[in-house]
């Protein structure tokens, strides 16, 4: 029975503490929102002015392996489709990347160039799509075109393909790729709200000062016999009274 009473007491104390924390957060609501807006604004400025915009250029290759020089059969198409993964690996191979670096005299390592390139296949087709990202839209186009030309040669020599056609040359992007400014701003604002709320909660939990008669009974086990109210009017009255006394003393 005593155990049940103790458990009920603990549960009640927890509810009271939770309510108190929510009350404290509500009192600091304007401060929390202000910090969230501040963090969001800083995140927006950082993403807008400090993150370098990136442009993307895309080129496409058409690969078809024909068994017969005169006709293209269904088997040829199926074989070419199955080999597209091999073509992707060849396009991203070290010899191709090293050739592009040498051809354009790029100040990049093979790893850095590889991270800026993605090669995909358009669904249910033999078309390879090479996408290149760079801070300079014209350089992105040059890298894409250089890769397409040398990759076509590599595929023909290694895979013994009759020919690889460039379907589409690289384009010069008019606008940069999305840097996710809205997302970064929202994340910054959310982190600001969470951080400020966490600091307020931790500060309130570490605050062991007694503020109410309930705190006195809860933490010290002392019952409150009476409460002396102190209102503004009483304080003003004492102030006026002291001023009158000082005037009388001055007149004497």
Q: Is the pLDDT of residue 10 over 70?
A: no
Q: How do residues 119-131 score in pLDDT, each as one tens digit?
A: 888 776 778 899 9
Task: Report the distance separating Cα 16 and Cα 35, nearest Å.
Answer: 27
Domains of the chain, with CATH numbers? 1-51+179-207 (no CATH), 55-168 (3.30.70.1130), 208-252 (no CATH)
Q: How do residues 174-198 score in pLDDT, each as one tens digit?
A: 888 876 788 889 999 999 999 999 9
Strand partners, 129: 60, 120
Output the average pLDDT for the chain.
77
Q: Is the pLDDT of residue 37 over 90?
A: yes
Q: Is the pLDDT of residue 16 over 50?
A: no
Structure tokens of 202? 């931790």
Query: The dihedral of CA 222, 223, 225, 230: what is its sign?
Result: positive
pTM (predicted TM-score): 0.58
Please give the pLDDT value at position 163.
Answer: 76
């Amino acid at each position: 029975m005593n155990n049940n009473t103790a458990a009920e007491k603990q549960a009640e104390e927890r509810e009271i503490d939770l309510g108190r924390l929510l009350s404290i957060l509500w009192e600091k609501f304007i401060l929390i929102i202000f910090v969230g807006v501040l963090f969001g604004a800083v995140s927006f400025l950082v993403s807008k002015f400090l993150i370098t915009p990136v442009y993307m250029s895309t080129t496409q290759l058409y690969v078809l392996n024909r068994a017969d020089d005169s006709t293209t059969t269904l088997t040829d198409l199926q074989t070419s489709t199955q080999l597209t993964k091999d073509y992707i690996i060849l396009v991203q191979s070290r010899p191709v990347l090293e050739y592009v670096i040498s051809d354009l005299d790029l100040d990049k390592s093979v790893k850095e160039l590889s991270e800026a390139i993605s090669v995909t296949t358009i669904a249910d087709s033999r078309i390879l799509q090479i996408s290149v990202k760079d801070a300079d839209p014209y350089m992105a186009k040059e890298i894409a075109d250089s890769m397409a030309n040398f990759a076509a040669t590599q595929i023909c020599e290694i895979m013994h393909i009759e020919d690889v056609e460039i379907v589409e040359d690289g384009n010069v992007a008019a606008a940069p790729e999305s840097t996710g400014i809205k997302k970064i701003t929202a994340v910054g604002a959310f982190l600001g709200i969470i951080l400020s709320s966490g600091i307020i909660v931790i500060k309130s939990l570490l605050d062991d000062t007694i503020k109410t008669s309930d705190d006195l009974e809860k933490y010290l086990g002392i019952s409150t016999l009476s409460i002396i109210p102190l209102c503004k009017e009483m304080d003003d009255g004492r102030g006026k009274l002291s001023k009158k006394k000082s005037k009388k003393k001055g007149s004497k």
